[in-house]
Structure 1
Amino acid sequence: MSEVIAKSKAAKEAATVLNTLTTTQKNEALLLMADALTSEQNRLLAANAEDIERGRAQGTSESLLDRLKLTPQRLAAIADAVREIVELPDPVGEVIAAFDRPNGLSIEQRRVPLGVIGIIYEARPNVTVDAASLCLKTGNAVVLRGGSAALSSNRSIVAVLREALSRSAIPEDALQLIEDSDRKSVDEMLKLNGLLDVIIPRGGASLIQNVVQNATVPVIETGAGICHTYVDESGEYAMAEAIALNAKVQRPSVCNSMETLILHETFARKHFAALADKFREADVALKGCDLARVLVPSIESASAEDYATEYNDYILNVKIVKDLDEALIHIRRFGTQHSECIVTENSANAERFLQEVDAAAVYHNASTRFTDGFEFGFGAEIGISTQKLHSRGPMGLPALTSTKYRIVGSGQIRT
């Protein structure tokens, strides 16, 4: 029996126990997990250092190493995120609807766990904790398959968390890590109907497309983030500068960072040169359309392939447009329905942008970096869904539930 099948079967059995636990029992387990992350900090940082050293030796970019790196501060924040999940309402058992039928049947629709969730992700060890915490809080067992770049970190984290679960009511087998780094282990997970109830991929476009195209298990797609910030003609320069720099520079390696800055031509002629200087000071390499290169000749040319690229790095495309219509056309062509922003003082243009842009999150005068479960008040997130079923946007606890109808009668039969 393969590792994937053996661990998925163990998770399936554990899910039947997990489904019966109270919110108090689940929260007690999460608190033990949070405490373990801080008490075992040195052990976790040592394992993470192995991944960082191996990544540097293999020529991994600094932006990707940043996604991989753990620090005492980041571990403390991850543990705090688990404690915040404890404080959030447990959606399991929530009555969504209740009604009586004329024949005397009483019907309730309640939230229930999905069952066993498979998470396939890349070099972000914080996802290991986020996914485990959110799944367990909602009564779901979880089978994790992280990227090989974070294998040492993930092994150590899962070992620490399972040790904490062994002192709780949650079976430690409810949390599983697939350690086989061969791609065949991913392919095997994609076909585990009957053991896995849903798969959630988190990572780059190639990983997500592989899962979406080849899985027979239902998939919640967390899409790539080619996010845009459009500065309209009436955009206030100081605000536009602050939002654009934050959206690109604050943490470029994540999916809600900006990949293309779209500028109204009137705004660009006044302000693009100054804005370009600010990006250079932040070590951002600029690529632009023909007019952008006329206004700032030192930047590289941007191709259609560039506009369709999720860099997750200190690289930014610039597109100059004549009006909002052209900006919307560009976003429809190259956007990934993740997060889009307009900076404008024109309320009609803002409303039109918010209404017409088809994305999970649309912003007026705020950075796309806020598309995040923590920032939305959901605690940690399981991912940001760019599809429309069964969840969209940052996925917190309710997104990890399904529903069940409970019908109580007094002997009714259908005629």
Structure 2
Amino acid sequence: MAKQIMSNLLFFSLALLNITLSPIPNFASASLEEANALLKWKASLEIPKNSLLSSWIPLPLNSSASVPCTSWFGVVCNADGSIQKLNLTSSGLKGTLHQFSFSLLHNLTHFDLSLNNFFGPIPPAIRHLSKLIHLDFSKNKFSGVIPPETGNMHHLTILYLYSNNISSSISSSFGNLTSLNVLYLYQNQLFGLIPVELGNLKSLNQLDVSDNQLSGSIPSSLGNLTSLNILSLWKNQLFGLIPIELGNLMSLTDLWVNTNQLSGSIPTSLGNLTSLNVLYLYQNQLFGLIPIELGNLKYLTGLYLSKNQLNGSIPSSLGNLTSLNRLYLDKNQLSGPIPTKLGNLKSLNQPDVSDNQLSGLFLHHWVI
């Protein structure tokens, strides 16, 4: 019996020793590897004197892995010591992402390089950042294409690529970003069609692809984005009709489709957008009547319909828009008297109805 007990004790001791000596996840080693990857990337950049990146110093072999997490500018780590957030906005940096190790820094959830001088393409290796929630590369000089691999970042809620030199189409893979709340691609050199797949982004609150070279029609699928507050498509080369489905966007506060080549009539369905603050339709090729349904937009502060081919009379229903302070109907083919009901619009600031065939001098501050 004693021999059996001794045997069991020996077995237990060996088992305990084996557990003690077995490898455990080496978070310190992994964190140091990530830190060294950032140092390699830093060495490829042009950095101004007295930059806060001077806190990124080479680490001795015996240094603590927590050093980058506690003293490196712009670096935030998770509980395991792995780099989670990198925020280098407005740091005066110049360079590329060629030496950035996307695969080693795959735990990033926030990556902000905005307001710097980064140039060159965004590498397809960005696909390794599959945990990203917030990506901001805005106001740089990135060029080339938006990698279709960006559509694999299923956790993204914010994507800012605006104010760069990106010249490509918008990949249909963006339709996979179903967690996205904000998509800003404006002020680039994007061309081609607006993908119908963007209609899959049911969580989207703001979509801005303005000031590009996009062409084709506005996809009716955008009418599926019922959480949308802002839709900005202005200053492109879009043509065709304004989809009646945009009248489904009941949460919309800002609709900008001006400075395109849109034609047809203004859909009466836009009268359903009762949360709308501003409606920009000017400088297109719209014709037909101004819908009386626009008089339902009681929160509207700005109505911009100038530089089209609208005809008929000004509907008296616009007199219901008592919050309106900007009204531009100039350079159309409107005719008839200016409705006296527009006298209800006490907040109007120099409304412009010039270059039409309207009759009757209305108020001294009107431009007619």
TM class by shorter chain equals under 0.3
- Greater helix share, structure number: 1
TM-score by length of 1: 0.21
TM-score normalised by length of structure 2: 0.22
Choose 1 or 2 for highest CA Rg.
2
Q: Which has the higher contact order (CA 8 A, sep 6+)?
A: 1
